[in-house]
Structure 1
């Protein structure tokens, strides 16, 4: 995926494990087993975050008003979530122009990326919503966000999931 860097103001990027749901995941009492069963496919994603606030001096309220700073998402190829895939142990490596800049295991996201689905299903239930089949859910970053600059190529890879790549013109 590629786009002109001038479209965004202060872009940063994060690598994440993400899911495509194969069935609805209603709350309030969703457990890890139900969350895993609802996942049809798993994949790597690069979330590009951006803000209109100077130098990323942003409060929680600002972040909410700023759509959680989400600006773009680039998804890698989706694969079935097999029973043997240990998401907490899945190592993600992020490189910029071929140089490794971040490494983190899936457990960096709440101990298990599937816990993000459990939390989200419960939170949505409290506000009258629900996770629905077909929706994509990014679990959360396994490393701190880093600046995204024009002319760079960012790539995330892991042991068992296909890589995802972004080039900023």
Structure 2
């Protein structure tokens, strides 16, 4: 078994047993982002072999603040699988998560494929069927979230679950760079954000993703859901918490955690 498969299996076991592991970069300081994407793709391959289907992608580290925190100058990405979908307004059992945090985002649903390396934000807008408000429940298989960039990439960009809400909206009717968001936890505002916070415009994030994926010969396909990046900081979730994101012109989306 090579190191890629070994690390992938370690993260898969951590997820199954719900016991966090030490950061891979602590054990192997030379573990690179290239190595990490190979581990992520091995995890996704194994999950597909077990019957899970890819339904989209998520983009992380889209804000300057988060990039500076991890000492990087570009976002990262992960895969969305059909088993990650949570119905709007429903309850998530804490048995499905380990150390969850919640983020408010804008989701794009594509009406045609996008393939880099030279995709532009305009092409993203033209390829978007509709947009929705979304909550991403990020999670980490690394103990206490003590991660560096390669750790989160290997761990499928710290993906957990996601919720889509609101009513589908046409993207040509809304300037997403100016759209504001309010994230509420148990009815109280915990943070706010705006579309411009993610690389100037959420479509820039999706363009980056399409171009990054071209390095792995991966295409964004018609019908895929793309979570374009958190509009504000992630907020810790505890049993009994209820989260709601309200995004101007798009509506709201909510989820509660079992107590």
Regarding TM over 0.5, the answer is yes
Could you list the runs of 5+ residues in structure 2 that have no partner in the other structure? 1-89
- Partner in structure 2 of residue 107 of structure 1: 196
Higher radius of gyration, 1 or 2: 2
The aligned residue for residue 153 of structure 2 is 64
CA deviations 1:28-85 (Å, max 9, x no partner) are 2111211100000101111111112222111111112211111100111341324230
RMSD, aligned α-carbons: 1.2
2:249 maps to 1:160: yes
Q: Give, in whole Å, the separation in 1 of the partners of 2:149 and 2:96.
A: 24
- Summarize the Cα distance change of 1:22–1:78 in structure 2 as closer, same or farther, 3 Å threshold: farther
The structural deviation recorded for 1:103 is 0.3
Q: In proportion to residue count, which structure has more helix?
A: 2
- In structure 2, C-alpha distance between the alignment counterparts of 1:15 and 1:156, rounded to whole Å: 6
Deviation string 1:84-130 (CA, Å, 9 cap, x unpaired) is 30101000100011100010001111110000111011111121111
Give the match for residue 47 of structure 1. Answer: 136
Is 1:79 equivalent to 2:145 in the alignment?
no
Q: Which of structures 1 and 2 has the larger relative contact order (alpha carbons within 8 angstroms, sep 6+)? A: 1
Aligned residues: 169
Matches of 1:122 and 1:7 in 2, distance apart? 32
Superposition TM-score, scaled by structure 2 size: 0.63
Which has the larger share of strand? 1
Please name the residue that 1:14 is paired with: 103
Structure 1: tracts of 5 or more residues without a match = none
